[in-house]
Amino acid sequence: MWAEKGNVSRKRRRRVQKRTLPARDLWDPSKNDISHHSVRRMRRYRVRRFIWFVQVAFFLSLGLAIPYVAKWGYEKVIYQSQHFQLANFEIETSGSLSEEVISGACGIRPGANLMDIDLEEVTRRLQSLPEIASVEVERNLPDQLSVKVRERAPVAWFTGSDQSTRPLREGGILLDDEGYHFPCREVIEEIAHLPTIQVDGLGALKSGQPIDSFQIRAALDLIESSRLEFGAEEMKITDIRALGTWGLLCRYPGDLLVTFDLNRLEGGLRDLAVIVKKSRSAKLSLKTVNLVTVKNIPVTFHSAQSPDGW
């Protein structure tokens, strides 16, 4: 009985071994002892492998196609949509630049798509204008572009021995309180009475950049300090001329000429305030004051004759 069971087990093992060939023999055409069970398994394996390759190729193609389809749809919906065409262009500025100048500098064509406008490029174009200190550009969907401009506030005219830099005319050079200079587009009332600063020998100036000159810086500081010291309109500086590297000659209303030491502007202003107060109490009209001298400051008064010219 046990011998018969052993023979049956050996027969089963031989059948299993005959059906399940090693993997290296599955694709060998010289093997003729492959059973019909192994042939069906190979076919199923080939079919499954083919289906796997098809699935992989499908998902790869889908993954590559999705960005292009999304881009096409985005451009179709956004860039070609009538709802996003620029219809409201708001411009807000702190100075006298006209909306025509600002909008022209933006370089935006009429009817442009709001989503197609490069805000960084618009900002760069506006900042290239020498009168502009800072810019804010905002896109407000669906059809509004907002531009806020902070212009440089002029505090003085710049002039030199070169006649091309004469003040009080279109194209004249204006200065802000930081020394940045820019051309005058139009002489309006607000800038017609600004003081003039004359410094010779500075050479060519690059518009929209600060002037690298300690005389210019000192003159601007003196204008502001004098305004804070006196306040009244009758003591507002009208002209400043640099005297080399050591002094500033200032003209005040009434043809008062005051010479300041570049190294002692604040102390000179305090001395001038005392002199002005004393002369007014004595009802005397000042003509010249030399504040370069610390002690025994030379002072002259107007006579009946007209004062000397500038």
Contact 216, 199 (CB under 8 A): yes
Among residues of the chain, what percentage have pLDDT more than 70?
77
pTM of whole model > 0.85? no
- Per domain, the residue ranges of the chain are 82-151, 154-301
Position 2 scores a pLDDT of 45
CA distances to 28, 37, 261 from 32, rounded to whole Å, are: 9, 13, 116
pLDDT tens for each residue of 278-307 = 999 999 999 999 999 888 899 999 874 444
Q: Which two tokens stand for residue 290?
A: 């030399």
pLDDT at 244 over 50: yes
> What beta strand segments (E) does the chain contain?
88-93, 132-140, 144-151, 154-159, 173-176, 181-183, 196-198, 239-243, 247-252, 256-261, 286-290, 299-301
Which residue pairs from 199-207 have beta carbons closer than 8 angstroms and sit at least 24 positions apart in sequence?
199/158, 199/160, 199/242, 200/160, 200/161, 200/242, 201/160, 201/161, 202/160, 205/173, 205/181, 207/130, 207/181, 207/182, 207/183
Give the per-residue pLDDT at 35. 56
Q: Which CATH superfamily is domain 82-151 in?
A: membrane protein fhac (3.10.20.310)
For the stretch 219-231, pLDDT in tens is: 999 999 999 999 8
Asked if residue 136 has pLDDT above 80, the reply is yes
Distances (CA, A) of 144 to 152, 209, 223: 26, 32, 42
C-alpha span between 202 and 180 (Å, rounded): 14
Distance of CA 187 to the CA centre of its chain: 27
CA distance 288 to 26: 117
Average pLDDT of the chain? Answer: 81
210 has a pLDDT exceeding 80: yes
Domain 154-301 CATH superfamily: Cell division protein FtsQ/DivIB (3.40.50.11690)
What pLDDT, on a 0 to 100 scale, did the predictor assign at position 155? 94
Who wins on pLDDT, 232 or 261?
Answer: 261
Confidence tier at 68 by pLDDT (50, 70, 90)? low
What is the pLDDT confidence band of residue 258, given thresholds at 50, 70 and 90? very high
Of the candidate ranges 105-114, 152-161, 246-255, 258-267, the one whose mean pLDDT is the lowest: 105-114
Asked if the model's pLDDT at residue 179 lies above 60, the reply is yes
Helix (H) or strand (E) holding 107: none
DSSP bridge partners of 69: none
What residues have CB less than 8 Å from 70, skipping those under 6 apart? none
Q: Which residues of 120-153 are buried (b: 16+ CB within 10 A; e: fewer)?
A: eebbebbeebbbbbebebebeeebebebebebbe
Confidence tier at 264 by pLDDT (50, 70, 90): very high
Q: Identify the CA nearest to 130 among candidates 90, 163, 171, 70.
A: 171
Does residue 82 have a pLDDT over 70?
Answer: no
Burial level of 107, CB count in 10 A (0-12/13-18/19+)? middle
- What pLDDT does residue 306 have? 44
